[in-house]
Structure 1
Amino acid sequence: MSIAIGQAGFTVDAWDPGYSAALAADALAELGPTSAELDLDVELLAADWRPVSPAPDTAPPGVMLIADGVRRIDARVWSNDAGAAPPSPGIAASYAAGIVRCTPGEGAPAELAAVEVRRSLFTASPYASDIKASAGTYRVETAADDSMEGLSLALQQRLTQLEVDLSVRCRDDDAGDGDLLIVDGPLRGRTHLPRTVGYIKTHHTAYLPAPQAGVVSALGPGQRTPVFLMGTSWRRHAWYLALPVRSAAPWAGIVRCEAGADMRPDEVVELADAITLALPSLAGVDYKDPRAPQNLVPIGGLEKLLRHRLGDPRLLYRSLRAAAGR
């Protein structure tokens, strides 16, 4: 929605202010070359970039599996290392992953294919043992170090692995090779999965040079940028696509998709067309989701279910306090 007051015009971001903006202000200010290694000539020469619509003969995926996960720190804990001082810090965390199965174009509701909840104690201490609380058991998972960053990274790695395990299991159950797996977030750690796309809703970094970033701004609903290769600490193919949106805010309705760097150009272009054709019908709506349209309807529903499955945080915290004896 664009609103003008007096002589000054301004735009209201479509996302609820309780969430970070879909396009970070620092990214908007730096729409120029970044330290990322880019190959912009994968599908079209950089000088020929323009909005791309899916080819007329593009077929939507027969089945889409959408994977997502949620995490929550239930308590910060200290492990008494066999009398050593000082105690080692850790976090008791609950995390869950799930898979939703969708059939594009049939109007059928999304189906929950798999869900799993785990509780773990993340610590670098070699002396830590499982916490057996009345509300659940927290299994020890070793972190590389005891900094909060190291503990949080260990939690994220376990969550990512859980998503991978569920995705492989669901694909084995489907016993087909025509499906397409969408993982909510970057593809890091999942590039080995076939026909898999990372789905990024929020833009913290402006990867494209100004001329190509201008193509992103010019995208209409159901269009995408040409495919390009991007390398930071890891390499992947990427493209931006536009979902239907009413807001005129910068890059409103824009998401970034990622695919494995080892795919052939024709393979990734075919994948990009299929995902661009399928996603607009799954776009979130603003009266239901504060992060619409980027938060796809199946993702929003899955997140809500997974957070519920994590359990009552107050109950878990009290049970951890009781297990500690105070």
Structure 2
Amino acid sequence: MTTAFTVDPWDPSYTAALNAEALAELDATSAQLDLDVELPAAEWRPVTPDPGTAPPDVLLIADGVRRIDARLWTYAPGDADPAQAATAPSNGGSAPTAAMSGNGAFASGNGAFASGNGDFLAGGGGGPMPGIAASCAAGIVRCVPGVAAEPVAVEVSRSLFSASPYATDIVTTAGGYRARRAARSGMDDLVLALQSHLAQLEVDLAIRHRAEAGGDDLLLVDGPLRGRTHLPRTVGYIKTHHTAYLPAPQAATVSRLRPGTRTPIFLMGTSWRRHAWYVRLPAPSGTPWAGVVRCEASADLGLDALIQLADSLTHALPPLAGVDYKDPRAPQNLVPIGGLERLLRHRLGDARLLYRALRAASREERPAPVPVR
């Protein structure tokens, strides 16, 4: 007998849109839930948006991309020059040397070392500490439903992330990297600092664009609303599901959604509170939760405003859904988001050129430097 199966529409090179373990444990959640916001929990069913509610006249979508241009080491003042240290003869440990232990930890002659989990600790001389030189870009695309979508704001930022108190701005012939402190030296901590900076870049860009445009158009931010709940008329847009927030009976409602319908609105709180609902986009797949996205809105909105917002977005999102022959993350990766991401990656610049410029700057070969921005 032939095995029946369906294929997840997302490209397998990306993280799955739905974590299979979360699907198997839908009763498990640490979030505090209020499922009775719009309908009593026992009466949950797919909600068809009110046909009398129009999609927003203008929808702004904010997104960002990031890239690590180089991993590097920062040195404290007085440490031996790393290039000289690499070629200096052994003299009983007086020159900084580095070796790797079996668990992947580095140890240097001046007392700096790393534990196996990637946390770097410095000895008496401070020692070399790891960092990342990274580029990120944020942008906003303005969508008029049924008419056009165009990018209206883009900003690029290059930064050196390091936990070292001695890290300073890097100037290269291809661009400047502003020094920014990370909480710790592990790679996860450095990437978290990069992601936090990108999120703030998106927020600042959205605030500035709205101020310049003189309007309060609805803003859709790619990702959870965390850290952006203070922005007016703003909704978080979550494409992937790593946590099962709903109990099994209500999660079953998500599985029954048809394209262009949504779940009832509910309130959830973890370390922060927000309203949320799920929407199904058109998807050529029968996999669980195919084409399902989660929307998040401020916990301070009243019920009438929430219902109008949820219905308006449920009308607006399906026509913007990505198509699989153009985007491996369709349909959740909306067409305007995919186009904005391509533009932003282009604006990041040539990774090979930036890497070579960083290598040259590390040797102090810096003709015609470009100022840090």
**TM-score of the alignment, normalized to the shorter chain, above 0.5:** yes
Is 2:79 the counterpart of 1:40? Answer: no
* Counterpart residue number, 1:3: none
1:59 match: secondary structure: coil
CA contact (8 A) 1:121 1:138 kept: yes
What is the DSSP-based 3-state SS (H/G/I as helix, E as strand, rest coil) of the residue aligned with 2:296? strand
Of residues 85-94 and 37-46 in structure 1, the stretch that sits farther from structure 2 once superposed is 85-94
* Residue 18 of structure 1 pairs with residue 13 of structure 2: yes
Q: Which amino acid aligns with 2:209?
A: C
Partner of 2:64: 69
| Aligned position for 2:73 | 78
Alignment of 1:32-181 (within 5 A): 32-83=27-78, 84-104=125-145, 107-177=146-216, 179-181=217-219
Deviation at 1:85, TM superposition (A): 3.4
Deviations 1:132-156 (A, max 9, x none): 1111110111122222222112111
The 2-side partners of 1:77 and 1:266 are apart by: 52
Query: Highest Rg: 1 or 2?
Result: 2
Distance apart, 1:265 and its partner CA: 2.0
- Report the AA paired with residue 234 of structure 1: W
- Structure 2 counterpart of 1:87, one-letter code: P
Q: CA RMSD in A?
A: 1.2
Conserved? CA contact 1:202–1:255, under 8 Å: yes
What one-letter code is carried by the residue in structure 2 that aligns with 1:70? V
Instruction: Give the conservation status (yes or no) of the 8 Å contact 1:34–1:208.
Output: yes
8 Å CA contact 1:195–1:271 kept in 2: the answer is no
User: Aligned partners of 2:278, 2:363: CA distance in 1, in Å?
Assistant: 52
Q: Name stretches of at least 5 consecutive residues in structure 2 with no aligned partner.
A: 79-124, 365-373
Match for 1:246: what amino acid?
Answer: P
The equivalences for 1:249-268 within 5 A come to: 249-268=287-306
Letter of the 1:161 counterpart: Q
Distance 1:147 1:8 in 2: 45
Write the distance in 1 (CA, Å) between the matches of 2:68 and 2:173: 17
Q: Encode CA deviations 1:175-217: one digit per residue, 9 max, x unaligned.
A: 223x210001111110111111110111111110000000000
**Match of residue 243 from structure 1:** 281
Match of 2:315, SS? helix
Distance (whole Å) between structure 2 residues aligned to residue 75 and residue 235 of structure 1: 37
Name the SS for the 1:320 alignment partner: helix
Distance 2:14 2:188 in 1: 22
Give the Cα–Cα distance (whole angstroms) in 2 for the partners of residues 151 and 17 of structure 1: 26
How far is the alpha carbon of 1:170 from its aligned partner? 1.7
Match in the other structure for 2:229: 191
Deviates more, 1:212-221 or 1:77-86: 77-86
User: What 5-or-longer segments of structure 1 have no aligned partner?
Assistant: 1-5
SS of residue matched to 1:10: coil
CA-to-aligned-CA distance 1:12-62 (integer Å, 9 cap, x gap)? 111111112111111111121311111101111100100001112202111
- Tell me which amino acid in the other structure corresponds to 1:64: L
Q: Is contact 1:33-1:210 (8 Å) kept?
A: no
Partner of 2:342: 304
In 1: Cα distance, 2:179 partner to 2:26 partner: 43
Deviations 1:198-252 (A, max 9, x none): 1011111111000000000000011000000111121111100000111111110
Identity %: 71
Q: Shift of residue 174 of structure 1?
A: 2.6
Instruction: Look up the SS of the partner of 1:113 in the other structure.
Output: strand
Q: Residues of 2 paired with 1:266 and 1:260: CA distance?
A: 13
Match of 1:125, SS state, is: coil
3-state SS in 1 of match to 2:148:
coil
SS, match of residue 300 in structure 1: helix
Q: CA deviation at 1:108?
A: 2.2
1:88 Cα offset (Å):
1.8
Structure 1 runs, 4 residues or longer, greater than 6 Å off: none
Per-residue deviation, 1:300: 0.3
CA distance, structure 2, for counterparts of residue 172 and residue 131 of structure 1:
32
Paired residues of 1:224 and 1:240 also in contact (CA < 8 A): yes
